[in-house]
Amino acid sequence: MKYEPIIGLEVHVQLNTASKIFCGCSTRFGAGPNTQTCPVCSGLPGGLPVLNSEALKKVVLAGLALGCEISGNSTFDRKNYFYPDLPKAYQISQFYRPICLGGYIELPSGGPPGQPMRRIGLTRIHLEEDAGKSIHSEDPEHPISYVDFNRSGVPLIEIVSEPDIRTSDEAYGYLQRLKSIMKYLNVSDCNMEEGSLRCDVNISLREKGSEKFGEKVELKNLNSFRSVKMAIDYEIDRQAKLLAAKERIVQETRLWDSRRAMTFAMRSKEEARDYRYFPDPDLPPIHLDEKYIEDCRLALPELPDRKKARFMEEYSLSEQDAEVLTSARELADYFEMTVSRGAVPRRASNWIQSELLSRLDDVDRIGAFIVTPEKLAALLSLIEDNTISGKIAKAVFGEMAESGADAETIIREKGLRQVTDSSEIGQIADRIIVANPCSVADYIHGKEKALKFLVGQVMKESRGKANPRMTNEILLEKLSRLQRLNEGGR
Ligand SMILES: [Zn+2]
């Protein structure tokens, strides 16, 4: 392609404070319409906003974790526009002096290992209030619209990236990383279905090698990371075709239609001046001293990069394994709990990444998974002490994930305990040798592969319960004896 996509993301993250940003109303999701409102958040005349100190702390934590400069002096501004879900006809936001400036998110380069990380710059993070929600009746006979103000005044942070993103994969990786960090910080649940993480995309194309930006299109209505990726790919294609045909790109806002997998024009894009921003006279400036910022810095948890390095060091995991296990805080916690219950780290890592993650649709729910870290550790210790083979353990794990029973119970009830009695394995081996004279002859005449087949037959006869290492040794011993006899007889 002769064009280079220039992509920037604006991500709104709902903070998980108990109360709203400028009043004491609850932020709980899913309550009956307009049951969590007061004169302040429903915009009644005379209602005065007071800043929620938890919301302030959370935006500072987010800023510190993303390498931003925290402003000691920031202010709130009014963003003026009329919409039914905005009862004051302005949104309290930060325009002139946002609380966080700069910062970055680092992504794996995507190239061979050892390459430096790709750094996507941040322009700013600011604090603002959410709007209410319009609900439209789906009955064409009665086209009525309603407004629910429960969401009005829920605290939001808006994280604006620099136009540093070049591909839809990078946008996807950026969002995943951002979500992971927000969840590590416990500043948001980042639940996209409930709207606590929302993303708009700014995208333009320019000829490769050119420094000038092309006309920018804003994409909205992206309700999953996947739709962000698909909408970007669609838009790159659409704009490239227009440019190739020497047509003009219109600067506008386009909506993503996930059912038809395409974007369509919604309105011409408004600019900052259209909003008539001005300082909010009801809210004093926010002054943060060094001590406040330092206290927040000390309160930061171990973040993904640091945790990944520690996992590699402390548990001797590969970079790839440590990357996966630390990609979500809940996953990292699950792994560490499993290890703290006695599991060998590398085995725990393999099992969590293969058996466990393949059974989970959403890694966020790992904390509620029916097989707890204690139960997984107990299962893995049974492989360690040769009670069961790794293969049987996988079947046992499947049962555990279905019923929630513990490994010991399943093994006892199904009689799956590994056979480690050498005379019992020896008897099976004798039967297999008698039943397979051709394979035995092959082995004696130098076909090593025949041993593998005979081991397999013993394992099958024992219904997978014979200890594989012992089976191998016992068969080898018996076959060697036959071989000696055979040579002596010649
Ligand atoms: Zn309220």
pLDDT band at 347 (very low <50, low <70, confident <90, very high): very high
**Ligand 1 center to 56 CA (angstroms):** 17
Q: Does the pLDDT at position 22 exceed 70?
A: yes
pLDDT exceeds cutoff 70 at 366: yes
For the chain, give the mean pLDDT. 92
User: 285 CA distance to ligand 1 centroid (A)?
Assistant: 21
Angle subtended at Cα 235 by Cα 204 and Cα 260, rounded to the nearest 5 degrees? 155
Please give the distance, rounded to the nearest whole angstrom, from the Cα atom of residue 152 to the centre of ligand 1: 8
The label of the residue with tokens 């029916």 reads: 370
Mean per-residue pLDDT, 315-339: 95
**Centre of ligand 1 from the C-alpha of residue 41, in Å:** 4
Residue 490 reports pLDDT greater than 60: no
> What's the CA-to-centroid distance between 43 and ligand 1, angstroms?
9
SS percent in the chain: helix, strand, coil, step 5: 45, 20, 35
| 347 or 466, higher pLDDT | 347
Dist. CA 33 → ligand 1 center (Å): 13
**CA 58–ligand 1 middle distance (angstroms):** 20
d(CA 447, CA 439): 9
Percent of the chain with pLDDT over 70: 98
pLDDT in tens, 198-257: 999 999 999 988 888 889 999 998 989 999 999 999 999 999 999 999 999 999 999 999
Q: What is the DSSP letter of 117?
A: P
Rounded to the nearest angstrom, the distance between the alpha carbon of 47 and the centre of ligand 1 is 9
CA 376 to ligand 1 centroid distance, Å? 46
8 A C-beta contact, residue 369 and residue 356: yes
Using only C-alpha atoms, the chain has a radius of gyration, in whole angstroms, of 31
Residues with CB under 5 A from ligand 1 (ion): 23, 25, 38, 40-41
Task: State the Cα–Cα distance between residues 124 and 316, nearest whole angstrom.
Answer: 37
- From the list 98, 107, 108, 109, the residue with the least C-alpha distance to 68 is 98
Domain ranges within the chain, ordered by starting residue: 3-292, 302-414, 422-489
pLDDT digits (tens, 9 = 90+) for 287-312: 999 999 999 999 999 999 999 999 99
- Expressed in angstroms and rounded, the spacing between residue 27 Cα and the centre of ligand 1 is 9
Per-residue confidence (pLDDT) for residue 390, from 0 to 100: 85
- How far does residue 18's CA lie from ligand 1's centre (Å)? 12
Measured CA to CA in angstroms, residue 225 lies from 46, 107, 253, 350, 418 at distances of 41, 16, 19, 27, 45
- The confidence band for 448, taking pLDDT boundaries of 50, 70 and 90, is confident
Distance 23 CA to ligand 1 centre (A): 5
Over residues 132-149, mean pLDDT? 92
CB-based contact 346:380 (threshold 8 Å): no
**Range scoring the smallest mean pLDDT among 18-22, 236-240, 356-360:** 356-360
Q: How far apart are CA 389 and CA 302, in angstroms?
A: 36
Beta bridge partners of 204: 6
Can you give the pLDDT at residue 127?
Answer: 98
Residue 81: band (very low, low, confident or very high) from pLDDT cuts 50, 70, 90: very high
* Three-state secondary structure string covering 224-280: CHHHHHHHHHHHHHHHHHHHHCCCCCCCEEEEEECCCCEEEEEEECCCHHHHCCEEC
pLDDT > 90? residue 286: yes
Residue scoring higher pLDDT (15 or 362):
15
**How far, in Å, from the CA of 159 to the mean position of ligand 1?**
24
Residue 412: predicted pLDDT: 85
Contact 356, 370 (CB under 8 A): no
CA 117 vs. chain centroid, Å, equals: 19
CA of 45 to the centre of ligand 1 (A): 13
- Calculate how far, in angstroms, residue 470's C-alpha sits from the geometric centre of ligand 1: 71
Compute the distance between CA of residue 323 and CA of residue 311 in angstroms, rounded to an integer: 9
More confident call, 417 vs 54? 54
Q: In this prediction, what percent of the chain has a pLDDT beyond 90?
A: 71
Alpha-carbon distance 122 to 301, whole Å?
21
Contact 340, 346 (CB under 8 A): no
Q: Say how many Å lie between the CA of residue 59 and the centre of ligand 1.
A: 20
Mean pLDDT of 349-375: 91
What's the confidence (pLDDT) of residue 489?
60
Q: Which stretch of 106-115, 331-340, 361-370, 372-381 has the lowest confidence by average pLDDT?
A: 106-115
Q: Which amino acid is at 177?
A: R
pLDDT of residue 331: 95
Q: Determine the distance separating the centroid of ligand 1 and the alpha carbon of 22, expressed in angstroms.
A: 7
Statement: residue 443 has pLDDT above 60: yes
pLDDT at site 411: 87
Dihedral sign for Cα atoms in the order 392, 394, 395, 400: positive
Mean pLDDT of the region 38-47: 94
Q: State the distance from the centre of ligand 1 to the C-alpha of 153, rounded, in angstroms.
A: 7
pLDDT of 137 > 60? The answer is yes
Tell me, in angstroms, the distance from the centre of ligand 1 to residue 14's CA.
16
Backbone phi and psi for residue 261, each to the nearest 5 degrees, phi listed first? 50, 50
**Ligand 1 centroid distance, CA of 50 (Å):** 11
Residues 6+ apart with CB under 8 A from 105: 66, 119, 120, 122, 161, 174, 177, 178, 181
How close is the Cα of 416 to the center of ligand 1, in Å?
60
Predicted pLDDT of residue 169? 95
Mode of pairing for the β-strands spanning 77-80 and 278-279: antiparallel
Distance 35 CA to ligand 1 centre (A): 10
Give 247 Cα–ligand 1 centroid separation in angstroms: 49
For residue 80, how far is its CA from the centre of ligand 1 (angstroms)?
A: 20
Tokens of 35: 């049951």
C-alpha 347 to ligand 1 mean position (Å): 51
Instruction: Report how far Cα 464 is from the mean position of its chain's Cα atoms.
Output: 37
Could you tell me the distance, in angstroms and rounded to a whole number, from the CA of residue 48 to the centre of ligand 1? 10
H or E stretch at 371: none
pLDDT at position 465 over 90: no
Which residue is associated with the tokens 């001590």? 291
Using DSSP's 3-state secondary structure scheme, residue 132 falls into coil
Residues 6 or more apart in contact with residue 120 via CB below 8 angstroms:
104, 105, 106, 107, 161, 162, 164, 165, 170, 174
Provide the Cα torsion 194, 13, 262, 7; round to 10°.
-170
- The Å distance, Cα 158 to ligand 1 centre, comes to 21
Q: Which CATH number applies to 422-489?
A: 1.10.10.410
Instruction: Name residues whose C-beta falls within 8 Å of residue 31's C-beta, 6 or more positions apart in sequence.
Output: 150
| C-alpha of residue 225 to centroid of ligand 1, in Å | 31
Between CA 183 and CA 328 the distance in angstroms is 8
Is the pLDDT reported for residue 376 higher than 70? yes
Cα of 126 to ligand 1 centre, how many Å? 21
As a whole number, mean pLDDT of residues 150-176 equals 96
Query: 102: CA distance to ligand 1 center in Å?
Result: 32
Task: In whole angstroms, give the CA distance from residue 408 to residue 293.
Answer: 51
Q: Compute the distance from residue 20 Cα to the ligand 1 centre, in Å.
A: 7
Over 70: is that where the pLDDT of 113 sits? no
Kindly give the distance from the C-alpha atom of residue 146 to the centroid of ligand 1, in angstroms, as a whole number: 19
Cα(112) to ligand 1 centroid in Å equals 52
> What are the pLDDT digits (tens) for 382-397?
988 878 888 889 999 9
Phi/psi at 399 (nearest 5 deg)?
-65, -45
Whether the CB-CB separation of 470 and 480 falls below 8 Å is answered with no
